[in-house]
Chain A
């Protein structure tokens, strides 16, 4: 790839697990030169997280690790040794950006705080990603998707009123934190290039949820405006006119409709049936009557049960409805839009062969996303990176034997 959007951006990546690597993955995938530093021996803790290729829990076969670390060069380095620290500082000198996700206080204890790194690189952009931030009473607390979504995000509003709130599937809150860190890091890097000043960015996973995750920000501001704190169980997406909004069963699965204020479009989708000719069905005042809504939904539900989700999707969209089929993951990969747009990218890795990964988050027409290399094997680029610093093969053997790499 000749010139990508972030070609020339040199990133030293000290992150591990999910949020940090998710941040640096986006940078790497759009062209940044990312050197991923792992500790010798076990490497990034994500190597022990599933799903695994063919369920083989091998450190080079974690699907999560493979996905998160595309395009990065991998080295090992023991930051607790004095030579390890020295080597790191040499790498910092040759970098524009450092991203780390250790527990707050670790970098300071290692003598690698922002102030220390500035001494070798005065224009450095440094991003620290942590659970609760670098300061505050919960600074040393652990984090999970549940906690991110529950303390920071709107989990309290998700689910049924008389039982536990329920999280999203997978770890989207943690990925979101990574994406926020990508955004801030790129902005700071761009600012550094334009104005010559470095930056230190403190990204707390919990903060990233407060501002963004789901409708949290508007719920918080609406609470400020009205003093009302929402609860669970209020119907989703039910607009003022009511009916026909939510996830509905159909002949071969489920379809989501965002009803809002446009019931007449649903009626059009269903072919303007005589049963729904009465103007009461599209009058917002009349729709507020639960009996009218029941009557409408009865027809609507039975019509849906006579059609497939893809059919409903196309017929609904053509009549101006905001609807979508509920897909399982295999159906996503088989969908014509997804196939045409090549959303999934095939990545070849020595331990797994070719596997389809979720691909680019967006399409840059001039400076595309690309996977030029798969996730690194542990220490794969040690000789390449260290030889550039002047270390010879024999040095690397010695460094390995003293557990510095």
Chain B
């Protein structure tokens, strides 16, 4: 599989495909740097975040946490496809590949001459997962998208956030990006399945916007069926009261609690054991909803005196869903998450050894194995050019000299 991808959705999809055993080749260029992929800058300013111990190091593009978090198991090469001999290399790669995945704005691919017809010429049954913000057709085809904007245009921003603040105070929303990566893997493997049965490849037109809309059907169904335009419920839940995040002991510790029915409420009363729980205002779901504001304050008056993990265990024991809101540090100390072996240690030649999230879905017979550390720029040029494409030493050297092949960005590239 060939990947010409940037930022998040594309690289993320590549990682899962590689994790599942595919040979995934990242096609990059030492002549062009795409901000937001291997860091924001080729040479980051002092104090730029994302690097081990805040040190960009000799080759910052190989040391950026975000990139490295989705780069293991892939192999990488460099070529400048904006020049004819580079495009010829790309075509040779297509000839020996099953899948091509991209997430550049369609107009960029147009300018490069990368179209489905062109790809099909090299490999008639090629599968192309073409990821864009808004899709390969329509007035927004060449519009630039970022996950927060996708959240805004998809309606998601209109029904999230605190109930009492302005949308201008909304926290960030990048859910659309990893959602797209996951969808792309499903799309590609489905297309491979179709190809195996019919011999036909295809283009898959993947719009971040469209996939994300399918993550929020409730407000859309309510509008379709009942004409209601959803606003935000904050942390409240139409089916549970009380439901929210409540402050616990400590500076900034919180627990999520949701009580769905009278059975759970009874358990809640017994655990809390304070007089107010037996107040007639809280005796049934309708009444609890009517007095939800007061109820939330009282719940917090109880949780404030307890540790967030303690609250989880006390309430879960009586069948109430509850859980601490975990900081990044707490994730690595959580007994359950660590017992599940959710993280895998990976050693990287230039970034060091760290824990990275492992398999999202645990497979019994084909568990995750990390065969290749997060791929460095041009790390596998020799293998890909010489063995996969069969290019001779002389031609290889020529491509090195003309700025196609390398492991460092060309001087002047920013």
Q: Do A and B bind each other?
A: yes
Known: A220-B328, A356-B224, A363-B205. A49 touches B239 (CB 8 A): yes
Cβ contact within 8 Å between B363 and A207: no
Cβ contact within 8 Å between B219 and A198: no
A199 within 8 A of B: yes
* Besides A49-B239, A166-B162, A211-B360, 19 other A-B contacts (C-beta < 8 A): A3-B197, A6-B190, A63-B225, A142-B316, A144-B237, A166-B161, A169-B161, A183-B183, A214-B173, A220-B331, A221-B66, A236-B171, A284-B45, A327-B154, A330-B229, A332-B155, A341-B137, A357-B217, A362-B183
The stretch from A82-90, A254-262, A381-389, A395-403 touching chain B is A254-262
Cβ contact within 8 Å between A147 and B152: no
Q: For B234, list chain A residues within 8 Å (CB).
A: 166-167
Cβ contact within 8 Å between A340 and B139: yes
Considering the complex, which residues of chain A in the window 133-191 have a beta carbon less than 8 Å from any beta carbon of chain B? 133, 135-138, 140-147, 150-151, 155-161, 163-172, 175-176, 179-184, 186-191
Cβ contact within 8 Å between A207 and B360: yes
B402 within 8 A of A: no
Name the prevailing secondary structure of the A interface residues. Answer: mixed
Q: For B258, list chain A residues within 8 Å (CB).
A: 144, 146-147
Known: A53-B225, A156-B327. A67 touches B217 (CB 8 A): yes
A110 within 8 A of B: no
Known: A222-B66, A224-B354, A365-B205. A159 touches B171 (CB 8 A): yes
B206 within 8 A of A: yes
Q: For A326, list chain B residues within 8 Å (CB).
A: 152-153, 157-158, 167
Q: For B247, list chain A residues within 8 Å (CB).
A: 164
Cβ contact within 8 Å between B336 and A137: yes
Considering the complex, which residues of chain A in the window 243-270 have a beta carbon less than 8 Å from any beta carbon of chain B? 246-249, 254-256, 258, 260-261
A8 within 8 A of B: yes
Cβ contact within 8 Å between A254 and B337: no
A203 within 8 A of B: yes
Cβ contact within 8 Å between B203 and A365: yes
Known: A144-B237, A321-B144, A337-B139. A258 touches B149 (CB 8 A): yes
A405 within 8 A of B: no
CB distance from B290 to the nearest CB of A (A): 18
B276 within 8 A of A: no
Q: For A331, list chain B residues within 8 Å (CB).
A: 155
Cβ contact within 8 Å between A364 and B187: yes
Distance between Cα atoms of A222 and B144 in the complex (Å): 26
Cβ contact within 8 Å between A187 and B185: yes
**Chain A CB within 10 Å, residue with most, of B51, B146, B358:** B146
CB distance from B140 to the nearest CB of A (A): 4
**Interface size in chain A (residues, C-beta < 8 A):** 156
25 residue pairs bridging A and B, Cβ less than 8 Å apart: A5-B190, A6-B190, A52-B225, A53-B225, A53-B226, A63-B225, A133-B362, A136-B340, A147-B323, A151-B334, A164-B245, A165-B325, A166-B160, A167-B160, A169-B158, A170-B219, A187-B185, A193-B196, A201-B364, A217-B69, A320-B144, A322-B145, A341-B137, A362-B204, A365-B203
Closest to B357 in A: A211
**Interface size in chain B (residues, C-beta < 8 A):** 155
Distance between Cα atoms of A136 and B52 in the complex (Å): 31
Count A-B pairs with CB separation below 8 Å.
501
Considering the complex, which residues of chain A in the window 188-232 have a beta carbon less than 8 Å from any beta carbon of chain B? 188-191, 193-194, 197-204, 206-208, 210-215, 217-232
Known: A135-B340, A159-B171, A166-B235. A221 touches B205 (CB 8 A): no
A358 within 8 A of B: yes
CB distance from A29 to the nearest CB of B (A): 10
CB distance from B376 to the nearest CB of A (A): 16
CB distance from A330 to the nearest CB of B (A): 5
B220 within 8 A of A: yes
Known: A3-B198, A49-B239, A246-B168. A168 touches B331 (CB 8 A): no
Cβ contact within 8 Å between A132 and B336: yes
Q: For A256, list chain B residues within 8 Å (CB).
A: 148-149, 151-152, 157
A290 within 8 A of B: no
A40 within 8 A of B: no
A355 within 8 A of B: yes
Considering the complex, which residues of chain B in the window 218-270 have a beta carbon less than 8 Å from any beta carbon of chain A? 218-226, 228-230, 232-235, 237-240, 243-247, 252, 254, 256, 258
Cβ contact within 8 Å between B355 and A224: yes
Cβ contact within 8 Å between B52 and A363: no
Residue from the list B156, B162, B202, B337 in contact with A366, Cβ < 8 A: B202
Cβ contact within 8 Å between A217 and B357: yes
CB distance from B381 to the nearest CB of A (A): 25
Cβ contact within 8 Å between A225 and B50: yes
**Chain B CB within 10 Å, residue with most, of A66, A132, A203, A324:** A324
Known: A199-B363, A232-B171. A180 touches B135 (CB 8 A): no
